[in-house]
Structure 1
Amino acid sequence: MRLLIWFSFLAISLSHELPSTFQKCPRKGPNFSQCSVKAVENAVRQLTRPIKEVGLPVIDPLEVPSMTIAPGNGPTKFQQNYKNMKVWGYSKGQFSKFDFDFGQKTVTLDVLFPELVFEFEYDFNGTILVLPFQGHGPGVAIFGNKLRFLRNFFNFFPEKIKYFFDFWLEEYTRGGRKYYRVVRNRLVMEPELIKFKFDNLFNGDKELGDKINQVFNDNSKEVFGDVKSSYEEAFGQIFTNIFNRLLARVSIVDLFE
């Protein structure tokens, strides 16, 4: 057991360079932010496979073993229990902003997604808009753009699924090298359109299940808005953990040119 812990510690302690396929940007260069936008987007595109040497997992699909969302104060009077969640679409993010304030040790990212598809197993029991319901089984939620079909013909409609990230860092020294780690995060999620489909509601009663699914979809903005902060906290922590896995393996001097 001690040997296993020692090897795990050694794997984290050893400093690694960024993969050769990752772009580096000159920290003091005049176009650092613009270069970093391209570099981060390029790195994220590669995460359809794990990059184990720097601790980065696959993010497309992003796998979330379990997640619990507490009941809201409005229409969602039920606890949302999810397991075996997979999220498709994160590797297709289009980054429009990357600000790194080295003095304040903060990172700000803005990213747009064409579509995110959440597949999961759910377990719900409660009320939505005062309607009682219960069920457990497979489900899907799609965060999409209601203008997407128009963009097949026109190129000027922007993506509308926005994630705004803020990360607060601290600097520390390990093995004579300086590293960053995230100590606080903030994520704001702004989907334009959400569609839900929950199978096996009311133990498979199709008529009742279809009605509740319709209620979810007719009121998707209000349903999501009621528990939005809980989703932001959950996914903010997920991405913080991923970011920290990279930062624990790549020293500050190796992150930039």
Structure 2
Amino acid sequence: MKLLYTTLIFHSLISTFCTKLPSSFKKCDYKNPNFNQCLTEAIQTALVQLNHPMVGLPSLDPLMVEKFSIGAGTGPVGVQENFQNAKLYGFTKGIVQNADLSLNPSQMHLNFTITMPQFKILAQYQLEGQLLLIPVHGKGDATLLLKNVTGVAFLPLEKYTKKGLTHLRIVDGKVTLPKTDLLYMNFQNRENRSQEFSDMINKVLNDIWQAIFNDVKSGYESFFTEITVSLAGKFFDKVPLSEMLDNVE
């Protein structure tokens, strides 16, 4: 699965170096016994202000994505899903829990859980393949809605020095999706197909949404992984560790 942000977004990220966070960002004491609780709150409050001019990351409401793909599954969904000009809604409404940061060199990591009551994707799509032996192809406007989707992020880290300051770098990363209450799909076909055919395909998709989601779940996990690693990685690259936390070496 490949995901690319727009050139405009990354141009701003490359050209800006942030050495001081705005006072609206919560700063936690790494040696405080309640550090992880503070960190959970800090991540929660950061979600709505990553696009602060002093930070310069893209807005998460919505997050604009130039293109991404969800590969064909091995079960009922033998359909390659390609999306472009996507708008993603839901990150800023997510509820962050169980944040855990370790700076121990032998197990340096950041883990956290986020549950989004609604995560919506509006995009232009192109489909090609088969759904339950029915040939499916077309393009048009798509709406995808995940309800009560929970993501668990596992981000191994390492330290490095830039301009004399210590930063964090994500060595690898993974987001799993252990819980999703619903995947709603609506594909409006611009090609020469009747509205009745489009309605039938959408009904079939939504009637068996659980089987479909299970079939392509790894693609959605890769999708959320790349978004999380890209955004968190850019934040760590721009903000020194000492600016994010107190009492760190």
Query: 1: distance between equivalents of 2:223 and 2:195?
Result: 31
Deviations for 1:24-73, whole angstroms, at most 9, x for unmatched residues?
000100110111111110111334xx224323210111111100122111
Query: 1: distance between equivalents of 2:243 and 2:230?
Result: 20
TM-score, normalization by structure 1: 0.85
TM-score, normalization by structure 2: 0.88
| Shift of residue 90, structure 1, vs aligned partner | 0.9
CA contact (8 A) 1:55 1:249 kept: no
| Shift of residue 11, structure 1, vs aligned partner | 4.4
| Shift of residue 118, structure 1, vs aligned partner | 1.0
Query: 2: distance between equivalents of 1:52 and 1:130?
Result: 51
Query: 1: distance between equivalents of 2:14 and 2:153?
Result: 31
Q: Give the SS at the match of 1:114.
A: strand
Structure 1 segments of 4+ aligned residues over 4 angstroms from their partners = 7-12
Name the CA shift for 1:214/1:8 in 2 (closer, same or farther; >3 Å).
Answer: closer
Query: 1: distance between equivalents of 2:139 and 2:14?
Result: 42
2:241 aligned with 1:244: no
Query: 2: distance between equivalents of 1:191 and 1:251?
Result: 35
| Shift of residue 17, structure 1, vs aligned partner | 1.3
Name the CA shift for 1:46/1:206 in 2 (closer, same or farther; >3 Å).
Answer: same
Query: 1: distance between equivalents of 2:13 and 2:62?
Result: 28
CA contact (8 A) 1:202 1:208 kept: no
2:176 aligned with 1:173: no
CA contact (8 A) 1:92 1:114 kept: yes
Name the CA shift for 1:10/1:193 in 2 (closer, same or farther; >3 Å).
Answer: closer
2:34 aligned with 1:31: yes
**Which runs of structure 2 are paired with 1:1-257 in the superposition (5 Å)?**
11=15, 14-47=17-50, 50-103=51-104, 104-144=107-147, 160-189=148-177, 190-200=179-189, 203-257=192-246
| Shift of residue 204, structure 1, vs aligned partner | 3.9
Query: 1: distance between equivalents of 2:68 and 2:215?
Result: 17
| Shift of residue 19, structure 1, vs aligned partner | 1.5
CA contact (8 A) 1:71 1:78 kept: yes
- In structure 2, list runs of 5 or more residues that go unmatched: 1-10
Name the CA shift for 1:211/1:52 in 2 (closer, same or farther; >3 Å).
Answer: same
Q: Give the SS at the match of 2:199.
A: helix
Letter in 2 for 1:188: T
Name the CA shift for 1:217/1:23 in 2 (closer, same or farther; >3 Å).
Answer: same
Q: Give the SS at the match of 1:121.
A: strand
**Could you say which structure has the higher helix fraction?**
1
| Shift of residue 15, structure 1, vs aligned partner | 4.9
CA contact (8 A) 2:30 2:245 kept: yes
Query: 2: distance between equivalents of 1:207 and 1:15?
Result: 53
**Could you say which structure has the higher strand fraction?**
2
Query: 2: distance between equivalents of 1:164 and 1:53?
Result: 28
| Shift of residue 234, structure 1, vs aligned partner | 2.2
Q: Give the SS at the match of 1:254.
A: helix
Query: 1: distance between equivalents of 2:167 and 2:234?
Result: 11
Report what 2:5 is aligned to.
none
| Shift of residue 10, structure 1, vs aligned partner | 8.8
How many aligned positions are there?
Answer: 233
Q: Give the SS at the match of 2:141.
A: strand
Query: 2: distance between equivalents of 1:109 and 1:256?
Result: 17
Q: Give the SS at the match of 1:238.
A: helix
| Shift of residue 9, structure 1, vs aligned partner | 10
Name the CA shift for 1:170/1:131 in 2 (closer, same or farther; >3 Å).
Answer: same
